[in-house]
A and B are shown apart, each in its own frame.
Chain A
């Protein structure tokens, strides 16, 4: 097996999808001639031509809207939003137009487009280039939202997203692009949207996570005395209640690990479902590990503190298991 960079998995997924389906097109800033700001579209212009691999002006609203129109009328656009924050200037086209196309046409029209965006913190890009912002789209009826966690899930989720009949947002944690793992490409490999994965089995607590936090969760579990089950949600809207509930019913404890502010994180949704449907099986209150309700700081020491580390997660989960009480977040003592 070869070591595959996550960014190679993006490229390979796009490449294979374009080979398999001639209606797939790519649009975005510097995706064609320059091969992509993160080099995830390198070579595609040469291979598929300028009709299918399209450099756009700095006009996210225009190319997101064009993707909606093209999708409705038979193409399968894959749009790159370089940093998820840039979706802000194009949000209407996605969350209000694309998301209601099927509904308003009573099923006669759909907008099967994919929005790929790099997202997340950890690299010193500052507060306007480091957020996940999944809450901008999560919960929008008509949209789906997936988050990649390594090379394999990147390939599997992107291929499924491109084949999906509805608009799908795929968040790619930027910090993972330059990470490698053992992986063998298989053009038929897919991860069905809406399905979570048990990334590690355990009996004492269920740690539900996604994206770049998955590797943090796995490291925390590996370093823990307790036996922690790690669930990688993969699709966070709509999310896989069945896998999560089955796991929590077995372990009796739920912890979410979210790269999201405490007040906007997807974990609130997971906790409420577990509280409502598995209350009797819980040995401890559901617990959430999140970011504080504060912007992402630039300074390296502050950003490292701001993001949950594996050691912190291990500590939090251990405290929950030993006391069956929800431990305070680090900032309660710091502030």
Chain B
């Protein structure tokens, strides 16, 4: 895939400079998540999926504040981040449907999206796994001497796993250019944060590791981007890591089988009133970057485009049996496909 390909992950990432395209990307994420839910019901998705509707501003705010050369680790709740970073809807939906056009060739599934050309390492299905890996990516970034940073995205529940604490400490003593982004959506699986964590603000944990801990309105893409930009600059200046806490909310349950009955009445409705897409659309209208009614039109067009992608995906081939053995190790079939982080 080349940069000139207007639908390449890199081109999609570059498009995020435009505010209207940022809104469009958030709309796309919402549309893709809703469609995946439906694809599941239609029997095209196996295992489990973890949707991030409601958290679109975090994804797009992060993606617009870092470069495609910066490296990102993230979790199974990663469809939105992958799309924001540039992975195509066909790459995401194709992967979730197990097709060769998926970004992992259909062998990974919903929890394992990847696209090195926009910095996305394979999303991890194990809580906490991405944080130490981001530390290492930051070490490599520093070695590359080109001002690159690493970002690790994880949930509030993940702040209770050992890897979180070890990674923050490790990054701090080494002053690594890494930004830890906690998406605090108030729940880890079926448990509300106050039942698993003695503080509601994960950002407080930064003080124990002597790094900035910033609470951010995760429903406002501009606020997310500003906080990210500041942390990225700090990292690029060599001043070390930051912990950003995005206050956000997942509209769906934890995974496809979860009706989220454990949520207190009215909580979802309160969050829906601060919908990240509506907040940003209203701002763009005020800025006259979007006409009144422009959001609805954008949603209709985007959903139509997603339907076309779904048709393309469902028409596309499943991987060949030989893919079971490809790329297991360097001796395996598949050829040398290694991405060079030094090349650009």
Contacts of B188 in A (CB 8 A): 29, 57-58
Are B157 and A335 in contact, with the CB atoms below 8 A?
no
- Given that A123-B47, A300-B98, A302-B319 are contacting pairs, would A89 and B126 also be in contact in the complex, using a CB cutoff of 8 Å? yes
How distant is B330 from chain A, measured CB to nearest CB, in Å? 14
Would you list which residues of chain A between 292 and 335 have a CB under 8 Å from chain B? 292-295, 297-303, 305-306, 331, 334-335
Would you list which residues of chain A between 226 and 265 have a CB under 8 Å from chain B? none
How distant is B135 from chain A, measured CB to nearest CB, in Å? 16
Are A299 and B318 in contact, with the CB atoms below 8 A?
yes
At the interface, yes or no: B1 with Cβ under 8 Å from chain A?
no
At the interface, yes or no: A165 with Cβ under 8 Å from chain B?
no
At the interface, yes or no: A86 with Cβ under 8 Å from chain B?
yes
Which of A57, A85, A89, A127 sits near B163, CB closer than 8 Å? A89
- Given that A33-B262, A57-B160, A129-B111 are contacting pairs, would A302 and B324 also be in contact in the complex, using a CB cutoff of 8 Å? yes
How distant is A68 from chain B, measured CB to nearest CB, in Å? 15
At the interface, yes or no: A273 with Cβ under 8 Å from chain B?
no
Are A30 and B125 in contact, with the CB atoms below 8 A?
no
How many A-B Cβ pairs are below 8 Å?
Answer: 134
Complex: A76 Cα to B217 Cα, angstroms? 45
At the interface, yes or no: A126 with Cβ under 8 Å from chain B?
yes
How distant is B186 from chain A, measured CB to nearest CB, in Å? 14
Are B321 and A124 in contact, with the CB atoms below 8 A?
no
At the interface, yes or no: A22 with Cβ under 8 Å from chain B?
no
Contacts of A49 in B (CB 8 A): none
**Binary per-residue interface labels of chain B (40-51) against chain A in the complex, 1 for a CB within 8 Å, 0 otherwise:** 000001111000
Are B324 and A57 in contact, with the CB atoms below 8 A?
no
Are B111 and A299 in contact, with the CB atoms below 8 A?
no
Complex: A305 Cα to B158 Cα, angstroms? 35
Interface centre among A89, A292, A297, A331 (most CB of B within 10 A): A297
At the interface, yes or no: B296 with Cβ under 8 Å from chain A?
no
Which of A55, A302, A335 sits near B333, CB closer than 8 Å? A335
Chain A interface, >50% SS class: loop
Are A335 and B325 in contact, with the CB atoms below 8 A?
yes
At the interface, yes or no: A61 with Cβ under 8 Å from chain B?
yes
Are B333 and A86 in contact, with the CB atoms below 8 A?
no
At the interface, yes or no: B107 with Cβ under 8 Å from chain A?
yes
Complex: A305 Cα to B319 Cα, angstroms? 12
At the interface, yes or no: A128 with Cβ under 8 Å from chain B?
yes
Are B47 and A126 in contact, with the CB atoms below 8 A?
yes
Complex: A23 Cα to B188 Cα, angstroms? 29
Complex: A212 Cα to B99 Cα, angstroms? 27
Contacts of A128 in B (CB 8 A): 111-112, 124-126
How distant is A303 from chain B, measured CB to nearest CB, in Å? 8
At the interface, yes or no: B89 with Cβ under 8 Å from chain A?
no
Across the interface, name the chain A residue whose C-beta is closest to B162: A61
How distant is B121 from chain A, measured CB to nearest CB, in Å? 13
Which of A29, A59, A123, A331 sits near B189, CB closer than 8 Å? A29
Contacts of B160 in A (CB 8 A): 57-59
At the interface, yes or no: B109 with Cβ under 8 Å from chain A?
yes
Are B98 and A298 in contact, with the CB atoms below 8 A?
yes
**Binary per-residue interface labels of chain B (247-268) against chain A in the complex, 1 for a CB within 8 Å, 0 otherwise:** 0000000000000001000000
Which of A30, A86, A89, A335 sits near B322, CB closer than 8 Å? A335
**Binary per-residue interface labels of chain B (267-288) against chain A in the complex, 1 for a CB within 8 Å, 0 otherwise:** 0000000000000000000000
Are B161 and A126 in contact, with the CB atoms below 8 A?
no
Across the interface, name the chain A residue whose C-beta is closest to B111: A126
Contacts of A74 in B (CB 8 A): none
Complex: A297 Cα to B324 Cα, angstroms? 6
How distant is B334 from chain A, measured CB to nearest CB, in Å? 11
Are A58 and B124 in contact, with the CB atoms below 8 A?
no
At the interface, yes or no: A88 with Cβ under 8 Å from chain B?
yes
Contacts of B318 in A (CB 8 A): 299-302
Which of B125, B191, B197 sits near A33, CB closer than 8 Å? B191
Across the interface, name the chain B residue whose C-beta is closest to A88: B126
Complex: A273 Cα to B162 Cα, angstroms? 40
Are B197 and A57 in contact, with the CB atoms below 8 A?
yes
- Given that A59-B161, A128-B112, A293-B328 are contacting pairs, would A85 and B106 also be in contact in the complex, using a CB cutoff of 8 Å? no
Contacts of A305 in B (CB 8 A): 321, 324
Complex: A59 Cα to B128 Cα, angstroms? 10
Complex: A302 Cα to B208 Cα, angstroms? 47
Complex: A128 Cα to B127 Cα, angstroms? 11
At the interface, yes or no: A136 with Cβ under 8 Å from chain B?
no
Which B residues are closer than 8 A to A by beta carbons? 45-48, 98-99, 104, 106-112, 124-128, 157-158, 160-163, 188-191, 195-197, 262, 318-319, 321-325, 328, 333
Which A residues are closer than 8 A to B by beta carbons? 29-30, 33-34, 37, 55-62, 85-86, 88-89, 123-129, 292-295, 297-303, 305-306, 331, 334-335
Top 3 closest pairs, chain A to chain B, by CB: A124-B46, A298-B109, A124-B47
Q: Can you list 8 A-B pairs, Cβ within 8 angstroms, ordered by A?
A: A57-B188, A57-B197, A58-B158, A86-B127, A126-B108, A298-B106, A300-B318, A335-B325
